[in-house]
Chains A and B, each alone.
Chain A
C-alpha cells in the first residue's frame, strides 16, 4: 500500500480536461512540494511537474499541477492519445516512512 493515495484509473476523450488527485499527510504533501511523473508503456518514468506546479523544459503547458493542504492534483487539458500513460505523484516525507514516497499510480486511458 502506497503512502500517497491516487485513483487507480482515469479516462477522457481527446480534447477533454482530466484531473488526477494525490492525497497524503502532514509529513509529506502537507510540508513538502509534490512532483509528478509520466510513465509511457514500457519506458522509464519521466519528470512531468516539479515543485507542485513547475514544468521542466519540453513539457507542454497542457500539463499543470496544484497543491492544497495535504492533497495535490495533476490536470491535463486538450487530452491527446499520446497522453495515455501511468502517472505517479511523489513527495519528500519527513517521517520514518522515508525521504521519498510515491503514489500507487493512475492509469490514464484516452477513449
Chain B
C-alpha cells in the first residue's frame, strides 16, 4: 500500500529556508486524483495545514504562510517537497506530509519529522 516518508534537516537557523521532502512508496504519485499536502504541528498544539500540490503542479497555500511557502513535485522521483523561507522559532514543529485523497480527506500520513529553528 502507499506509504509516505518525510526527510530533511532537523535543525534550521533563524532567517534561513526550511526544506523537506516527502517520498511516496508503494504507488505512483501521479496515479489517481490526489493532492499531496504538508501539515505541521508545534509541540503540544494542534494541526495547521500548510499547503498542497496536484501532480499537474497546481498549488494551494494557507494564506497565513503563502508569502513564505513553495511546494513542488518531482514525479520522476515520486516525491514532493516543501520550502519555507525566513523561518523563526514559531516554525518549530513536527512536519507531516499527507495524501489529500479522492474521498476528500487526508487518508495517508507520513510519520512526521521534527524541525527545530534555532541558532
A residues near B52, Cβ cutoff 8 Å: 99-100
Interface residue total, chain B, C-beta cutoff 8 A: 22
State which residues 60-91 of B face A: CB under 8 Å.
60-64
B residues near A33, Cβ cutoff 8 Å: 104
B107, A56: Cβ atoms under 8 Å?
yes
Does A46 reach chain B (CB closer than 8 Å)? yes
Q: How far is the CA of A103 from the CA of B52 in the complex (A)?
A: 19
CB of A41 to closest CB in B, whole Å: 12
A46, B104: Cβ atoms under 8 Å?
no
Stretch touching chain B among A18-26, A47-55, A68-76, A77-85: A47-55
Residue of A nearest to B100 (CB): A100
Interface centre among A44, A96, A97, A99 (most CB of B within 10 A): A44
Beyond the given A2-B46, A45-B47, please list 15 additional residue pairs across the A-B interface where CB-CB is below 8 A.
A37-B106, A44-B109, A44-B112, A45-B96, A45-B106, A45-B109, A47-B106, A50-B105, A50-B107, A97-B63, A98-B63, A100-B37, A102-B46, A102-B49, A105-B47
